[in-house]
Structure formats: structure tokens, C-alpha cells
């Protein structure tokens, strides 16, 4: 009888251990250190890497004169994340959003504030960040993303500049390590929130 009970206890213990192992989420990989930065946000406040440290951060790149993915996909997707993180009680205290402009010449803090207002951005938890052109290139490169400026013919025959940049979203942990990237079409709030929670454990 004692042997039978011992066997049953062992089987139960192994089953529980197996279930616990199966339930434990796989840690997100560590890709690389997020690049350090310093700039000014849409309200004219200084913002740098230390501002974001200690939070999970979702970052992307935009510019306010973009007529392609910025106003139609990238920023609306970030707005979805803002709403979802707020609903789950994570926005601000634990999670911050950061949109870096890739057009610092035209995207003044005032222009960024107007753009943020168009989308109902929370100025405290979603920072639109202006940096020097040199720093923009350095930060984009540090995130392993692409950025180029093409000369194209304007309607009047003059040359104009077209900015081509990545629409990827970047997930950064509280220690400022990149843990995931998402294509805009793959940004699902429930999945990003799940990933963020794993980094907050």
C-alpha cells in the first residue's frame, strides 16, 4: 500500500511539474542594446534614454509630412497599442511609447505636437521625439533599421526629397535591450501586450 501511494505521489508530482513547465512562457530573445539618444519631445521637454529606462518601450519611426504608411498604418497601430495598454492598466507607469521623427528639419516640436494631437496621443506616455539629423541616422542604424533620402522629380520639374524609412515597431525591455520587432501588419495589441508582460515579470 505504501509503495502504491508513493508511486501515485510521484506520478502526480511529475504531472504537475510537467504542466508548470509547459505553462511557463519562453523568454523573449535578447537581440541588442537599444541605442542611446537625446532629444526634445512634442511639448518641448528634454527626453533621453534615461527617461525611458525602467519601462517597457514600444518605439517606431515616423515623419509628419509622410503620405504613405505613417498616417495610414504606423501611427494608427501605435494608437491601438496606446488604447490597449491603457485598458490593461500598463500605460505610463510600466509601458511608454516613443515615435522618433526621421525628418528633423521640418518636424519641429510644434509640428510633432500637432501631429500627436491629430491622433489623440497621450502626451505623458507617448513621446514624439525630435533629434538632430546626425542623431536620427545613428539611432536608426543602432536599431538595425534602414533610412534613406531619395531625390525625386516634383510636379513642377524641380527636385524634391523623398524619405524612405522602416515601419517596424521595436519592443525594448526596462534595461533597454531590444527584445522583439514587428512589421506594422503584424502588430496585434493582444500579442504585443503579452510580450510586454513577459518583460515586466
* Cβ neighbour number for residue 92 with a 10 Å cutoff: 15
Model-wide pTM > 0.85: no
For residue 7, being part of any structural domain is answered with no
* Cβ neighbour number for residue 119 with a 10 Å cutoff: 15
For residue 195, being part of any structural domain is answered with yes
What's 61's domain CATH number?
3.40.30.10
For residue 38, being part of any structural domain is answered with yes
Which residues form the domain of 182? 30-200
d(C-alpha 57, C-alpha 98), whole Å: 7
Share of the chain above pLDDT 90, in %: 74
DSSP SS3 for 82? helix
How do 95-101 and 56-62 pair as beta strands?
parallel
Nearest C-alpha neighbor of 142 from the set 30, 33, 29, 66 = 33
The alpha carbon of 137 is separated from its chain's Cα centroid by a whole number of angstroms, namely 18
For residue 85, being part of any structural domain is answered with yes
In terms of pLDDT, which residue wins out, 2 or 98?
A: 98
What is the pLDDT averaged over residues 88-111? Answer: 97
For residue 177, being part of any structural domain is answered with yes
Q: Are 176 and 33 in contact (CB under 8 A)?
A: yes
The pLDDT value given to residue 17: 46
For residue 6, being part of any structural domain is answered with no
DSSP SS3 for 61? strand
The pLDDT value given to residue 7: 45
pLDDT (tens digit per residue) in 137-167:
999 999 999 888 876 655 555 556 788 889 9
The number of folded domains in the chain is 1
For residue 19, being part of any structural domain is answered with no
Q: Got the DSSP string for 143-163?
A: TT--EEEEEEE-TTS-EEEEE
For residue 76, being part of any structural domain is answered with yes
Amino acid at each position: 500500500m505504501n509503495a502504491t501511494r508513493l508511486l501515485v505521489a510521484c506520478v502526480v508530482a511529475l504531472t504537475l511539474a510537467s504542466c508548470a513547465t509547459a505553462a511557463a512562457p519562453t523568454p523573449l530573445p535578447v537581440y541588442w542594446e537599444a541605442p542611446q539618444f537625446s532629444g526634445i519631445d512634442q511639448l518641448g521637454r528634454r527626453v533621453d534614454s534615461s527617461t525611458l529606462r525602467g519601462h517597457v518601450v514600444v518605439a517606431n519611426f515616423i515623419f509628419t509630412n509622410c503620405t504613405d504608411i505613417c498616417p495610414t498604418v504606423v501611427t494608427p497601430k501605435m494608437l491601438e497599442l496606446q488604447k490597449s495598454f491603457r485598458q490593461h492598466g500598463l500605460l505610463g507607469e510600466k509601458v511608454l511609447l516613443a515615435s522618433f521623427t526621421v525628418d528633423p528639419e521640418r518636424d519641429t516640436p510644434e509640428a510633432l505636437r500637432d501631429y500627436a494631437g491629430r491622433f489623440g496621443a497621450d502626451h505623458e506616455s507617448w513621446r514624439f521625439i525630435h533629434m538632430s539629423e546626425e542623431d536620427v541616422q545613428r539611432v536608426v542604424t543602432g536599431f538595425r533599421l534602414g533610412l534613406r533620402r531619395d531625390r525625386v522629380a516634383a510636379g513642377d520639374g524641380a527636385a524634391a526629397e523623398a524619405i524612405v524609412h522602416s515601419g517596424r515597431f521595436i519592443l525594448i525591455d526596462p534595461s533597454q535591450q531590444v527584445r522583439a520587432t514587428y512589421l506594422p501588419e503584424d502588430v496585434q495589441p493582444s500579442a504585443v501586450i503579452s510580450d510586454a508582460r513577459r518583460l515586466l515579470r
